[in-house]
Amino acid sequence: MKQIFISLVFTCLLLNVCIAQADSIASYKKTSAMIPMRDGIKLHTVIFSPVDAKHNLPVLLQRTPYGANGSDAPDDTTFNVQAFGTSLGMMLREGYFLVFQDIRGKYKSEGEMEIHQPLIHSTIKGAVDESTDTWDTVDWLLKNLKGNSGKGGLFGISYGGWLALVGAVDPHPALKASSEQACMADLFLGDDFHHNGAFRLSYGMEYSYEIEFDKTTDSDFPFPQYDLYDWYLKLGSLKNVNDKYFHNKIPTWNNFVKHPNYDEFWQKNSPLHYVSHAQIPQLHVGGYYDQEDLNGPQLMYRHMEKKDRDNYNHIVLGPWNHGQWARGKGDSLGKISFGSSTSYWFQALQKKWFDFWLKGIGDGNFEEAYCFQTGSNQWKTYQSWPPKGTVIRKLYAGPGNTASFNKPTASTGSVSYISDPAKPVPYRTQPIEATYGPGSRWKPWQVEDQRFVYSRPDVISFSMNKLSEDLTVTGKITAHLFASTSGSDADWIVKLIDVYPDFDSTSLTMSGYQLPVTMEVFRGRFRKSFSNPTPLTPGKPEEFVIDLHDINHTFKKGHHMMIQIQSTWFPVIDRNPQKYVPNIFEAKETDFIKATQTIYCNSQYSTYIDLPVMKE
């Protein structure tokens, strides 16, 4: 492990720019094409070609369902390199072809589109998918772009990140590197639509409508009000979505209803099923506070690392929300400062990545993992991820709402609360705007001060004494919740919180701030199997093991560590009826009941969180 010095990175970057100044590109010309695929479907593609390039240059390709950048500009329009922004501009200044493409069935491309379809070309003869479409696109570009070097790379964020992941499967020989950023991974276990089987209501409903209501554009659901907390509450059972609004016309929503468990549909749609290893160098990029696709980069890096014989598989984790590394400075999120321009740092690394693999510039010595350490606000590198050399310490929930590294010794001990689906805990402060609507605060909600729910009777907190020295936790966080319910199903939301000092001398306005370092939901019915759910036995204590994902955080001296637990998180997570029904999407209004939830903290049933603590 070693620290990366940001100033050194930028010095090297500026030096490279100066050396390449004689070959710098000032402007790009836009053209467009309808590129034919092997089945005759044509995909709308926007091409930006460097003007007056002195050398043959590689191609950077980004495929998207959101509309190819530059589509509205007339062909032969010339753009100054500064028009592409900081992230792309620093690469384009030294010369690349930049290509954006509408995927099948979106915007100006032909064909049919359905969200996140699996790769099938290797098992069904003559089949097409996003991998074959990428192959055909790269082949056409190399044959038709005058002045290309014969090498190409893929990159993209979110859905585009998934396209960069699957486009690198069985790649065209000219594809030399990819960077999937915030890719969607398993949509039942984590990311956009479900987390541990719990349905992400507001996002799942609004996003599926946006993408599939009108496949030629993006569509905003016509909400009749600004604050949607009450609207979603009055929506009632999920069956009302089709009955009142979608009328079975949104394919992805229909799939939610048909497949409430982790069945063959979800398993085959998971990249865990059809992506095995990195066939070309792959740079996974993710944010600790990604409100949409937090799990994807972590999950896919870990999955692909198992077969990474060529050292192609690398990961970057930063203090970002969804795609924040590609815009702005990345020096803060909400009220949390990171002490430096983390986005600029990543953009320099991204340039180094593609410059080496596509141009042969640099030594190619890439670290296995680049992971920003929040709290201490430093970039760190690791030879493996999660790093070796950590010691697991168990942070226990204790009697009297305390937390400590000491296991409870009493034979009895528990805390109970009433969870009422009619009065669910909001996942962020109201108003809860439409996800992508005017004034939406969707992007920073995962660093929001948790004091807004701290005093609710249906939110339970276990707080540790002040830390006498810094404590750095690096790697995968796992919660072991011992709990019972008076109902026959329950959701459990567990948070690991960094509580700032009562008086924070560095920033008085941050005094007492409750920063959620990591948090996650788990739907109780799936405690034994995500494929075969079973009811909970009322009053029976059971263990729920919850993946709280990867972090790299220093809890500073004078801060507190806190475990916080609740059973509703609305409307980002749908309301669990708390009465077991086979399919929650078909639950009746009478199925929603109050339940008493009990969290155990005694010698037999000890609720705790595994913390991988770095050795000093």
Q: DSSP string of 269-327?
A: HSHHHH--S-SS-EEEEEETT-SS-SHHHHHHHHHHHTT-TTS-EEEEEES-STTGGGS
pLDDT value at position 461? 98
Of 451, 470, 442, nearest in space to 333 by CA: 442
* Alpha carbon distance 139, 172 (integer Å): 7
38-91 confidence digits (pLDDT tens): 999 999 999 999 999 999 999 999 999 999 999 999 999 999 999 999 999 999
* Alpha carbon distance 562, 574 (integer Å): 25
Q: Residue 479: beta bridge partners?
A: 546, 609
Class assignment of domain 200-268?
A: mainly alpha
Per-residue pLDDT at 223 exceeds 60 = yes
Per-residue pLDDT at 17 exceeds 80 = no
DSSP class of 75:
T
Query: Mean of the pLDDT values across residues 401-416?
Result: 97
Which pLDDT band, with edges at 50, 70 and 90, does 216 fall under?
confident
Which pLDDT band, with edges at 50, 70 and 90, does 3 fall under?
very low
pLDDT value at position 215? 81
pLDDT value at position 195? 98
Q: Judge contact between 271 and 300, C-beta under 8 A.
A: yes
Least confident of 209-218, 241-250, 454-463, 561-570: 209-218
Per-residue pLDDT at 261 exceeds 50 = yes
Candidates 3.40.50.920, 2.60.120.10, 3.40.50.970, 3.40.50.1820; correct CATH number of 2-185+271-382?
3.40.50.1820
Query: Mean of the pLDDT values across residues 548-565?
Result: 98
pLDDT value at position 375? 98
295-339 confidence digits (pLDDT tens): 999 999 999 999 999 999 999 999 999 999 999 999 999 999 999
DSSP class of 424:
P
Where in the chain are all domains bearing CATH 1.10.3020.10?
200-268
Q: Where do we find the tokens 């979505």?
A: 241
Coil vs helix vs strand at 435: coil
Query: Mean of the pLDDT values across residues 2-11?
Result: 34
Choice between 356 and 20, residue whose per-residue pLDDT is larger:
356
Per-residue pLDDT at 16 exceeds 90 = no
pLDDT value at position 13? 38
pLDDT value at position 22? 37
Q: What percent of the chain stands above pLDDT 70?
A: 96
- As a whole number, the mean pLDDT across the chain is 94
Which pLDDT band, with edges at 50, 70 and 90, does 506 fall under?
confident
- Would you mind telling me the total number of residues written for the chain in this entry? 616
Q: What percent of the chain stands above pLDDT 90?
A: 93
pLDDT value at position 616? 67
Where in the chain are all domains bearing CATH 2.60.120.260?
390-614
360-391 confidence digits (pLDDT tens): 999 999 999 999 999 999 999 999 999 998 99
* Alpha carbon distance 188, 198 (integer Å): 8
Query: Mean of the pLDDT values across residues 436-459?
Result: 97
Query: Mean of the pLDDT values across residues 14-43?
Result: 77
- 313-318 vs 282-287, strand pairing mode: parallel
DSSP assignment of 386-450:
SPSSEEEEEEEEEGGGEEESSPP-SS--EEEEEE-TTSPPBSSPSP---TTSTT---TTGGG--T
Backbone angles phi, psi at 482, to 5 degrees: -100, 115
Longest dimension (CA), the chain: 78
pLDDT value at position 19? 36
Which pLDDT band, with edges at 50, 70 and 90, does 8 fall under?
very low
CA atoms within 13 A on the CB side of 98: 25
Structure tokens that stand for 391 in this block: 């010691």
pLDDT value at position 524? 98
CB atoms within 10 A of CB 170: 15
- In one-letter notation, the amino acid at residue 168 is A
pLDDT value at position 15? 35
Candidates 2.70.98.40, 2.60.120.260, 3.40.50.10470, 2.60.40.10; correct CATH number of 390-614?
2.60.120.260
168-212 confidence digits (pLDDT tens): 999 999 999 999 999 999 999 999 999 999 999 999 999 999 999
573-602 confidence digits (pLDDT tens): 999 999 999 999 999 999 999 999 999 999
pLDDT value at position 23? 54
Choice between 328 and 99, residue whose per-residue pLDDT is larger:
99
